[in-house]
Amino acid sequence: MKTAMRSAPVPTLRAFSIEKMRSYWLLSKPRVTILVWLTTVAGLVLGAWGQSVSGSLILLTLLGSWLVIASANALNQAMEWVQDSQMTRTAGRPIPAGLVRVHEGWIVGVLWGILGVALLALFANTLVALLGLVSILSYAFAYTPLKRYTHLCTAIGAVPGAMPPLAGWVAVTGSVSPEAFLLFIIQYLWQFPHFWAIAWLNREDYARVGFHMLPYAGADGIGTSRLVLWYTLMLVIFSAVMGFYLSKPWLYLVGVVLLGVWHLHKSLQFYRAPERLTARGVLMASVLYLPLLLIWVIISR
C-alpha cells in the first residue's frame, strides 16, 4: 500500500501552471489566430517595401497584432461558452471543458486586448491602434451576439476578419492606400466561401444552438454552394486587380490564375454536389488560397 502511494503522481505547482498557460493559449484559438496573424505579416512586409523600418517596430507591431486577434477570440469564447458546450466541434474548448473559468476568459481577453492596442499605439501609430480596437469590439460585441439573430452576422464578422493585412500596412506607413484597401477587400471576400463551407459542414451543430451561419435563412445546399461559387469568383477577380499595383504584374497574374482556377474548381464541385466531401474541398482550398496568394503578392512586388 505504501509503495503504491509513493508511486502515484502528485500534481506540482509547475505542472499546474504549465497546464493553465496551455489552456489560456487555447483561448486564443491558435490555429485561427496564426493564420490571420500571418496576413498581418504580409501587410506589414508590403507596406514596408522600399522603406527603412526598425526591427523593434516590426516585432512590437506583430506582437500587438497577435494580442488583438487573440483577445477577440478569447472574448468570443467567454461569451459563447454555453453554446460551445453543446456543439461537437467546440465542446473541447477550454471553458466548456472546465480548464478555464468564464471570468478567467473575460480577464485574459480584456488584458490581451488592452496590451495589444497599447503596444500598437505606443510603438506603431494611433491609426493602427484604432483599427485593432475596432476589430476587437466589432468581433466580440457585434458579430458574436448577432450569430443568434441573423445570418448577416457573417458579413459583419468579416470586417474585423479583414483588418489584419490593412493593419500591417498602416502600422509601417501610417496611412491607408489603394493597395492596402484592396488587401482588405480580398481578405473580406475570402472569408465567405471559407466560413460558409464551415457552416455547411457544421450546420446541425449550429442549428441546435440557434446560430444563423448559412448565407440566408433556410439556405439549402444548392443556395449555399451557389453563393460560395459567386463569392469565389469575386475573390479571384479582386485578387487579379492587385496586379495593377505590382512591379511584376504578369508574373503575379500567372499565380492568380492558377490559384483562382483551383479554388473555383473546388467551389464548382461543391455547387454540383453539395456534400461533406466537396465542402471540405472548398474549405481546404480557401485555407491554402489566402497565404499562397499573399506570398505571391510579395514575390511579385
Secondary structure of 196-250 as H, E, C letters = HHHHHHCHHHHHHHCCCCCCCCCCCHHHHHHHHHHHHHHHHHHHHHHHHHCCCHH
Whole-model pTM: value is 0.91
User: What pLDDT was estimated at residue 98?
Assistant: 93
Domain boundaries of the chain, sorted by first residue: 22-176, 177-301
Residue 6 confidence (pLDDT): 45
H/E stretch holding 294 reads helix 276-299
Mind listing the pLDDT tens digit for each residue in 202-223? 999 999 999 999 998 888 899 9
User: Which region, left, alpha or beta, applies to residue 101 given φ > 0 means left and ψ of -120 to 50 means alpha?
Assistant: beta
Task: Characterise 275 by phi-psi region: left (phi > 0), alpha (psi -120 to 50), beta (else).
Answer: beta
**The one-letter amino acid at 174:** G
* Residue 8 clears pLDDT 50, i.e. is over it: no
- Mean pLDDT value of segment 126-144: 97
Is the model's pLDDT at 7 over the cut of 70?
no
pLDDT of 17 > 90? The answer is: no
Are 236 and 264 spatial neighbours (Cβ–Cβ below 8 Å)? yes
Residue 157: pLDDT over 80: yes
- Please tell me the distance from the alpha carbon of residue 257 to that of residue 164, in angstroms, as a whole number: 24
22-176: CATH, from 3.40.50.11740, 2.60.20.30, 1.10.357.140, 3.40.50.620: 1.10.357.140
Q: Residue 272 pLDDT more than 90?
A: yes
29: left (phi over 0), alpha (psi -120 to 50) or beta: left
Write down the pLDDT at residue 14: 60
Answer yes or no: is pLDDT of 283 > 50.
yes
Taking only the tens place, the pLDDT of each residue in 96-108 is 999 999 999 999 9
Q: What is the pLDDT of residue 5?
A: 42
Which cell is 226 given?
A: 451557389
Measured between alpha carbons, how far is 301 from 291 in angstroms, rounded to an integer?
15
Q: Are 213 and 154 in contact (CB under 8 A)?
A: yes
User: How far is the C-alpha of 187 from the C-alpha of 239, rounded, in Å?
Assistant: 9
For range 176-200, the mean pLDDT: 96
156: cell is: 459583419
The answer to whether residue 279 scores a pLDDT higher than 80 is yes
Q: Is the pLDDT of residue 90 over 90?
A: yes
- Average pLDDT, integer, range 62-70: 95
Q: Which residues contact 119 (CB under 8 A, 6 or more apart)?
A: 60, 61, 63, 64, 67
Among 252, 284, 253, 255, which Cα is nearest to 267's? 284
- Tell me the mean pLDDT in the region 263-288: 97
Start-to-end C-alpha separation, the chain: 71
pLDDT band at 2 (very low <50, low <70, confident <90, very high): very low
Cα–Cα distances (Å) from 243 to 7, 51, 179, 299, in that order, read 65, 21, 10, 12
